[in-house]
């Protein structure tokens, strides 16, 4: 299962994926990375990213309990939630919002 189609930033949590079979494509602000079997992709806190499954795949995801709870919340269709508020609760923002906040800090 792919992650969200839009780039996002976890402000205080790292994530990593290790591909066992198939292929994943990671999108970053300045490039895309195709991850094939044996590839590990590490995304440190503060780096905008998105990923998608390119073909039937098996992979390991290393994440913090906070990101695990965020994913569970977003995947539960019975949960009525406001996306922006839910992301904020888990210290995550869409990449565009993160970049705007950084620009505002730099211009103050």
Strand 15-21 to 8-10 pairing: unpaired
- Classify residue 2: in a domain, yes or no: no
Q: What's the number of domains the chain is made of?
A: 1
Q: Is 32 domain-assigned?
A: yes
Q: Which domain CATH number covers 20? A: 2.60.120.10
Let me know if residue 3 belongs to a domain. no
Give 18's DSSP letter.
Answer: E
Domain that residue 33 falls in: 8-106
Q: What is the pLDDT along the chain (108 residues), one digit of tens a residue?
A: 788 888 999 999 999 999 999 999 999 999 999 999 999 999 999 999 999 999 999 999 999 999 999 999 888 877 677 888 899 999 999 987 755 655 555 666
From residue 7, give the alpha-carbon distance in Å to each of 4, 78, 87, 103, 108. Answer: 7, 24, 13, 17, 26
């Amino acid at each position: 299962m792919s992650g969200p189609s839009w780039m996002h930033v976890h402000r205080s949590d790292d994530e990593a994926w290790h591909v066992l079979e198939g292929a994943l494509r990671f999108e970053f602000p300045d490039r895309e990375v195709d991850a094939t079997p044996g590839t590990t992709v590490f995304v440190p806190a503060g780096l905008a990213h998105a990923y998608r499954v390119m073909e039937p795949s098996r992979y390991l995801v290393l994440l913090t309990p906070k990101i695990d709870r965020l994913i569970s919340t977003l995947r539960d269709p019975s949960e009525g939630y406001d996306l922006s508020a839910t992301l904020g609760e888990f210290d995550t923002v869409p990449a565009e919002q993160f970049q705007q906040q950084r620009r505002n800090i730099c211009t103050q």
